[in-house]
Amino acid sequence: MTTLIAQMEAAAGRAAERIRAAVSGAGGPGGDVAEAMAYAAEGGKGLRAFLVEESAKIFGATDASGPAAAIEAMHAYSLAHDDLPCMDDDDLRRGRPTLHKRWDEATAVLAGDGLQSLAFALAADVRATAEARLGLVTSLAEAAGIHGMVGGQAMDIAAETAPEPLTLPQIERLQAGKTGALLSWAAMAGARIAGEDPAPFAAYGAALGLGFQIADDLLDVEGDAATLGKATGKDAHAGKATFVSLLGVEGARARAAELAEAAEAAISPYGVKALPLRDAARFAISRDR
């Protein structure tokens, strides 16, 4: 697991460096926004970039740095906006002040906007056919939009004031968009670059995404804020229905283990080439941050 974490951190570093290079040179008032964009992309786990790179290696693609940086840029945008006072109103992200605390709300909004736009350019910056590059861009738009992450976030906000807590199927549908859509895009990127069938990786990503969210729910209950780099206990305080509130701690942990097994089974036909992705599925449910 230590090796896997080091590999993910290296992938995160490569993505952050690519994003910083893309925004370098902005002057005047735009300089703060460019710096905020680079800042937002730093310090992540690197799971999404790692999934892109390792799924590409399965098909012999040696450079997937553009799509890997793209998914980290899209994820960083979502966090920058999610942390805003009008959304989750968080002061800390990855152990550092959130963008609106480090700068101001306008800079945080614009930095998120800039990262989202940059993500599409980076997704297309890969050695592949025109059809494959178009597929990467259009599928990223789908995963990030109303039928994916944005839709899931909207459901999450609506649930906070709903008269009844969400049911388990509703939470699974919500999290498949909010958390799972971008993870699934990352897992499918390698197949799309190579023009191969992404279906096994879609199944892998769907299971991994739900397992990842269950781990998040467990960490919100049991995690250490200093290790996580963000506040804990927010879901319970808000009275939100989560996998833990519906299944209990042990039930949620058992469900996460089932999902990790399902993720591994989906990519088992790729044998040893898929070992890094199998390790990533196990990491997703057992991490401490």
The fold of 2-286 is Farnesyl Diphosphate Synthase (1.10.600)
Confidence of residue 236 (pLDDT cuts 50, 70, 90): low
**Tokens coding 189:** 């990127």
| pTM, to two decimals | 0.94
Assign 96 to helix, strand or coil: strand
Confidence of residue 234 (pLDDT cuts 50, 70, 90): low
So what's the pLDDT on residue 31? 87
What is the average pLDDT across 238-261? 91
Assign 231 to helix, strand or coil: coil
So what's the pLDDT on residue 288? 81
Residue, of 28 and 16, whose pLDDT is higher: 16
Evaluate if residue 107 carries a pLDDT over 80.
yes
So what's the pLDDT on residue 25? 77
Q: Measuring CA to CA, how many Å separate 60 from each of 10, 55, 67, 69, 185?
A: 20, 9, 15, 19, 18
What is the average pLDDT across 183-195? 98
Residue 93: phi and psi, rounded to 5, are -145, 125
So what's the pLDDT on residue 87? 93
CB 94 within 8 A of CB 39: no
Residue, of 131 and 160, whose pLDDT is higher: 131
Name the least confident of 24-28, 36-40, 118-122: 24-28
Bridge partners (DSSP) listed for residue 96: 93
Evaluate if residue 249 carries a pLDDT over 70.
yes
